[in-house]
Amino acid sequence: MFNKKGFPLQSILKFKSSAVDTLEAEFGQLKVAHQNQVNALQNLQQVKNQEMVVLQQLQQNGVLDCQAIQRQQQHLQTIHTQMVQQAT
């Protein structure tokens, strides 16, 4: 197929179709990667919430275990750091 000037349009259409297919595949991969990141971040948030409950329980016990509380706070800080890294 040639236009009025004799330029082959079919090669342009094939190139465009190939480019669109490539972009659609890349977009699909990016969507999956994004969903995986969102899921990982949600999982970290759940873990953080559970660990906050543990920390509150440690702080409300009759006998305070300062080392256990500090370990729990450090664990929560590690989770927070992971969440920040996951979000960026």
pLDDT of 2: 52
User: Is residue 41 assigned to a domain?
Assistant: yes
Q: What is the count of structural domains for the chain?
A: 1
Give the integer Cα–Cα distance in Å for 50 and 2.
67
Contact 56, 69 (CB under 8 A): no
Q: What is the DSSP string of 47-84?
A: HHHHHHHHHHHHHHSSS--HHHHHHHHHHHHHHHHHHH
User: Is residue 38 assigned to a domain?
Assistant: yes
User: Is residue 56 assigned to a domain?
Assistant: yes
User: Is residue 66 assigned to a domain?
Assistant: yes
pLDDT of 4: 61
Give the integer Cα–Cα distance in Å for 31 and 37.
10
pLDDT tens track of the chain, all 88 residues?
Answer: 555 665 678 888 888 999 999 999 999 999 999 999 999 999 999 999 999 998 888 888 777 788 888 988 999 999 989 989 888 8
Give the integer Cα–Cα distance in Å for 16 and 38.
32
**DSSP summary character for residue 2:** B
User: Is residue 2 assigned to a domain?
Assistant: no
* Structural domain span for residue 57: 10-87
pLDDT of 45: 92
